[in-house]
């Protein structure tokens, strides 16, 4: 469709007063960044971007909910997965005060990546579930392209996001290295035990193997395997 960029809404005159109250040096900024006006918290930055995008959602007749929170936080599933990592989550009005909650993964350090993910989650915030027809229609119109589950921004949407980001200021976050997670699963690593006679397989921990090797239902003592 050729209407994608037109549907992104008119240029919005942004009131910068709120941001100008804070004059900070970004935590990881270079000397050149010193003194830029920046929003101090990730939540405020993400919500600001979401609000800037509101008119675009009005135009595609899928308005964003009035009650909306956006945080930089771990998605509920596969947030640390090596492949098919989840980078954003949208919960329907699930909090006690009936607010839609969006979480943008701290693995995303760049403003554009966070913005792109935010657009995708905002589509779910309008009440569109799954990735069926209504999702693909509204998504295409807003400027995202397939695959829908990990939709990426078209050049037009990236340009629009970059323009908004340059007005809002730097995303006050830096990529969190998932390999530095403070706890590891290795302590409870499961070991595979196999019956040498028929291949029956069970998994248990080293702790229980020390207690004794289990017996297969066929009556054979099991062995470590794989
Ligand atoms: Zn057996």
Q: pLDDT tens, 32-83?
A: 444 556 899 999 999 999 999 999 999 888 999 999 999 999 999 888 887 7
Write out the residue range of the structural domain in which residue 152 sits.
6-180
**Does residue 96 form part of some domain?**
yes
- Total domains, the chain: 2
- Checking 32-40 for CB contacts under 8 A at 24+ apart, the result is 33/170, 36/169, 36/170, 37/169, 38/169, 38/170, 38/172, 39/168, 39/169, 39/172, 40/172
Task: Tell me, yes or no, whether 201 and 115 share the same domain.
Answer: no
Task: Tell me, yes or no, whether 173 and 195 share the same domain.
Answer: no
Task: Tell me, yes or no, whether 215 and 129 share the same domain.
Answer: no
**What pLDDT was estimated at residue 32?**
44
Measure the CA–CA gap between 218 and 19, rounded to whole angstroms: 71
Task: Tell me, yes or no, whether 75 and 135 share the same domain.
Answer: yes
**Ion ligand 1 residue ranges (Cβ < 5 Å):** 195, 197-198, 200, 216, 218, 220
Task: Tell me, yes or no, whether 119 and 217 share the same domain.
Answer: no
Residue 13: pLDDT over 60:
no
**What pLDDT was estimated at residue 131?**
67
Task: Tell me, yes or no, whether 125 and 212 share the same domain.
Answer: no
**Does residue 1 form part of some domain?**
no
- Going from the Cα of 225 to the center of ligand 1, the distance in angstroms, rounded, reads 13
- Going from the Cα of 199 to the center of ligand 1, the distance in angstroms, rounded, reads 6
Residue 20: pLDDT over 50:
no
| pLDDT tens for each residue of 170-194 | 999 999 988 888 876 655 678 899 9
Confidence of residue 5 (pLDDT cuts 50, 70, 90): very low
Task: Tell me, yes or no, whether 195 and 176 share the same domain.
Answer: no
Task: Tell me, yes or no, whether 164 and 196 share the same domain.
Answer: no
Instruction: Report DSSP state, residue 222.
Output: P
Distances (CA, A) of 132 to 37, 92, 135: 41, 17, 6
3-state secondary structure at position 194? strand
**Does residue 197 form part of some domain?**
yes
Task: Tell me, yes or no, whether 91 and 201 share the same domain.
Answer: no
Task: Tell me, yes or no, whether 127 and 61 share the same domain.
Answer: yes
| pLDDT tens for each residue of 122-164 | 998 998 776 666 777 888 888 888 877 777 899 999 999 999 9
Task: Tell me, yes or no, whether 107 and 201 share the same domain.
Answer: no
- Going from the Cα of 194 to the center of ligand 1, the distance in angstroms, rounded, reads 8
Task: Tell me, yes or no, whether 104 and 144 share the same domain.
Answer: yes
Measure the CA–CA gap between 145 and 152, rounded to whole angstroms: 6
- Going from the Cα of 145 to the center of ligand 1, the distance in angstroms, rounded, reads 52
Share of the chain above pLDDT 90, in %: 54
b/e per residue 157-187 (b: at least 16 CB within 10 A): beebbeebbeebbbbbbeeeeeeeeeeeeee
Confidence of residue 14 (pLDDT cuts 50, 70, 90): very low
**What pLDDT was estimated at residue 145?**
84
| Cα-to-chain-centroid distance, residue 162 | 19
| pLDDT tens for each residue of 80-131 | 887 788 899 999 998 999 999 999 999 999 999 999 999 999 998 998 776 6
């Amino acid at each position: 469709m050729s209407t994608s960029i037109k549907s992104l809404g008119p240029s919005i005159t942004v009131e910068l007063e709120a941001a100008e109250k804070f004059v900070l040096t970004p935590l990881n900024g270079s000397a050149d960044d010193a003194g830029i006006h920046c929003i101090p918290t990730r939540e405020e930055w993400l919500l600001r971007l979401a609000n800037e995008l509101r008119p675009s959602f009005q135009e595609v007749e899928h308005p964003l909910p009035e009650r909306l929170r956006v945080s930089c936080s771990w998605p509920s599933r596969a947030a640390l997965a090596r492949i098919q990592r989840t980078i954003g989550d949208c919960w329907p009005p699930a909090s006690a005060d009936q607010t839609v909650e969006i979480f943008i993964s701290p693995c995303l350090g760049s403003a554009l990546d966070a913005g792109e993910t935010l657009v995708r989650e905002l589509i779910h915030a309008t009440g569109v579930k799954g990735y069926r027809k209504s999702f693909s229609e509204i998504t295409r119109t807003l400027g995202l392209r397939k695959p829908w589950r990990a939709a990426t921004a078209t050049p037009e949407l990236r340009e629009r996001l970059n323009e908004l980001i340059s007005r809002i200021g730097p995303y006050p976050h830096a990529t969190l290295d998932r390999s530095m997670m403070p706890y590891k699963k290795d302590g409870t690593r499961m070991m595979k035990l196999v019956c040498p006679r028929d291949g029956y397989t069970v998994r248990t921990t080293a702790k229980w193997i020390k207690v004794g090797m289990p017996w297969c239902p066929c009556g054979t003592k099991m062995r470590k395997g794989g």
